[in-house]
């Protein structure tokens, strides 16, 4: 997998644009992240690719700084047990560990041909990561203590109030008022649902007694109101979404952004709601979450996971095309990235009969490491 450079003329066999349109034998140039096609260009100026050119796939939700945490040190018996064991492991590590993990994770993504990503990043790493990476990062805010809200630095282009169970509602309110792109974990687990809707379960009983926090009272009306008014938000997971919120998700499908991580959810016995999204024509993107809850960071494997599950329910080529959009167009949108990064692979064998599924398959075979 190689990157297409900006402002140079290329000629390629197949060009797939951000809407999944396929063009054959085109001369093109990328300017400011946008494609321009040309009829005639002087031959010596053209780089001949004989390849397939397409928008880099997007891993829309990951935590690269956790790449080097040892999964076998974590407790998978329940979602909350896992969170507690992860907090314990993180407390043993220093800044250098997390920076190295971030860089290693990014390298893994690039090896899979994935150059665009939505990463959740600890504030202390923001000044340490490469300058060009900053547009891919939501700076993570975890603060549940009301007395500390005043001192929180929110001066980043994109922020991630981690979740409703780890950030005080007043702080979420304050972040929403800033009107910048945000990413938030949203009804990922059964425990999250139990706490946010019924104020009970493992989050108040186990997690808050471990972290010395006092449960706050959320309810369904709070979330109905949240979904009605919120702007520029990426909601992640949605495995245990209350039924009453679903009409709003459908109604605001083109204003809100949704990212699903089916393989990570499966590690906790949770079912990602991709069927509901596809059935209702709701655009969504795909993420892997971190290596602490997944086998790899190759987001194409999330698409293949969904394909395998739903291939008998939908037209296969139609399904593969939707998954291509999940990996590209809707991925870029969900991480609020305006410029598209184009890549190419050579030797794709079925140029004459282009099938999205073959292409996804080929992409992941090419990048197995
Ligand atoms: Zn996550």
Which domains occur in the chain, in start order? 1-56+340-369 (2.30.40), 58-339 (3.20.20.140)
- Give CA–CA dist 36/233, Å, rounded: 30
Q: What is the pLDDT of residue 282?
A: 98
Stretch 166-183: mean pLDDT, rounded? 95
Residue 215 has pLDDT above 90, yes or no: no
Average pLDDT over residues 290-295: 96
Residue 22 and residue 131: Cα distance in Å, rounded?
Answer: 34
Average pLDDT over residues 6-23: 94
Q: How far is the CA of 311 from the centre of ligand 1 (A)?
A: 27
**CA 287 to centroid of ligand 1, rounded, Å:** 9
Q: Residue 231 belongs to what H/E stretch?
A: none
The CA 267 to ligand 1 mean position distance, Å, reads 13
User: Do 141 and 169 touch, CB atoms closer than 8 A?
Assistant: no
For residue 97, give Cα distances in angstroms to 62, 155, 235, 366.
Answer: 17, 24, 28, 30
**Ligand 1 centre distance from Cα of residue 253 (Å):** 21
CA of 318 to the centre of ligand 1 (A): 29
Please state the separation of Cα 114 from the chain's center in Å: 12
The pLDDT of residue 358: 87
pLDDT value, residue 368: 60
How many C-beta neighbours within 10 Å does residue 214 have? Answer: 9
Q: How far is the CA of 222 from the centre of ligand 1 (A)?
A: 22
For 279-305, the three-class secondary structure string (H helix, E strand, C coil) is HCCCCCEECCCCCCCCCCCCCHHHHHH
Here the tokens at position 168 are 């005080």
In this structure, are residues 345 and 363 in contact, taking their beta carbons and an 8 Å threshold? yes
| pLDDT tens digit sequence for 223-246 | 999 999 999 999 999 999 999 999
Residue range 197-210: average pLDDT? 93
Average pLDDT over residues 77-91: 95
Please give the residue that has the higher pLDDT: either 209 or 271: 271
Residue 352 Cα to ligand 1 midpoint, Å, equals: 39
Residue range 19-43: average pLDDT?
92
Looking at residue 366, what is its pLDDT? 73
Q: How far is the CA of 112 from the centre of ligand 1 (A)?
A: 20
User: What's the angle, vertex CA 143, arms to CA 97 and CA 256, rounded to 5?
Assistant: 95
Predicted pLDDT at 346 = 85
- What's residue 351's pLDDT? 76
What is the spatial distance between Cα 183 and Cα 257, in angstroms, rounded to a whole number?
Answer: 9
Share of the chain above pLDDT 70, in %: 99
C-alpha of residue 203 to centroid of ligand 1, in Å: 17
- In the three-class reduction of DSSP (H, G, I as helix; E, B as strand; rest coil), residue 350 is classed as coil
pLDDT tens-digit readout, 307-334: 999 999 999 999 999 999 999 999 999 9
CB atoms under 10 Å from CB of 256, counted, come to: 20
Residue 347: predicted pLDDT: 80
Q: What is the DSSP string of 113-176?
A: T--EEEEEE-GGGTTTS-GGGGGGEEEEE-B--GGGGGG----SSSEEE-BTTTB-HHHHHHHH
In a 10 Å sphere around its CB, with 0-12 CB exposed, 13-18 middle and 19+ buried, how is residue 127 labelled? exposed
Question: From the CA of 289, how far away is ligand 1's center (Å)?
Answer: 5
pLDDT for the residue 354: 84
- The mean of the pLDDT values for the chain is 94
Q: What average pLDDT does the segment 78-82 reach?
A: 94
CB 111 within 8 A of CB 367: yes
Q: Does the pLDDT of residue 369 top 60, yes or no?
A: no
Distance CA 309, CA 304 (A): 9
Give pLDDT, residue 268.
94
Paired tokens of 260: 């699903």
d(Cα 29, Cα 37) in Å, to the nearest integer?
7
For residue 90, pLDDT beyond 60: yes
**What's the rounded Cα separation, in Å, for the pair 152 and 157?**
15
Could you tell me the pTM of the whole model? 0.96
pLDDT tens digit sequence for 256-284: 999 999 999 999 999 999 999 999 999 99
Over the stretch 129-153, which tens digit does the pLDDT of each residue have?
A: 999 999 999 999 999 888 899 999 9
């Amino acid at each position: 997998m190689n990157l297409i450079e900006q402002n140079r003329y290329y000629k390629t066999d197949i060009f797939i644009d951000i809407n999944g349109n396929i063009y054959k034998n085109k001369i093109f140039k990328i300017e400011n992240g946008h494609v321009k096609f040309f009829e005639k260009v002087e031959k010596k100026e053209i780089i001949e690719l004989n390849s397939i050119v397409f928008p880099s796939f997007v891993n829309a939700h990951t935590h690269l700084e956790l790449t080097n945490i040892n999964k076998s040190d974590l407790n998978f018996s329940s979602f909350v047990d896992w969170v507690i064991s992860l907090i314990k492991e993180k407390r043993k590590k220093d800044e250098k560990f997390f920076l190295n993990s971030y860089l290693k994770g990014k390298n893994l993504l690039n090896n899979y041909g994935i150059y665009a990503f939505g990463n959740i990043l600890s504030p202390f790493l923001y000044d340490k990561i490469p300058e060009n990476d900053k547009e891919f990062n939501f700076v993570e805010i975890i603060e549940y203590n009301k007395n500390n809200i005043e001192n929180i630095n929110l001066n980043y282009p994109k922020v991630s109030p981690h979740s409703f169970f780890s950030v005080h509602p007043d702080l979420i309110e304050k972040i929403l008022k800033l009107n910048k792109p945000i990413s938030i974990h949203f009804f990922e687990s059964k425990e999250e649902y139990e706490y946010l809707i019924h104020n009970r379960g493992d989050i108040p009983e186990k997690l808050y007694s471990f972290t010395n926090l006092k449960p706050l009272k959320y309810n369904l009306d709070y979330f109905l109101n949240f979904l009605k008014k919120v702007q520029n938000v990426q909601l992640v997971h949605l495995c245990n979404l209350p039924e009453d919120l679903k009409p709003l998700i459908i109604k605001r499908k083109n204003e809100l952004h949704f990212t699903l991580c089916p393989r990570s959810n499966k590690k906790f016995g949770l079912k990602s709601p991709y069927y509901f999204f596809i059935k209702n024509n709701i655009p969504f993107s795909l993420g892997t979450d971190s290596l602490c809850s997944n086998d790899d960071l190759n987001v194409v494997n999330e698409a293949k996971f969904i394909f395998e599950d739903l291939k008998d329910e939908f037209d296969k080529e139609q399904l593969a095309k939707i998954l291509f959009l999940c990996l590209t167009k809707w991925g870029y949108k969900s991480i609020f990235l305006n410029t598209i990064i184009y890549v190419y692979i050579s030797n794709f064998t079925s140029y004459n009969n282009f099938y999205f599924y073959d292409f996804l398959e080929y992409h992941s075979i090419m990048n197995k490491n």
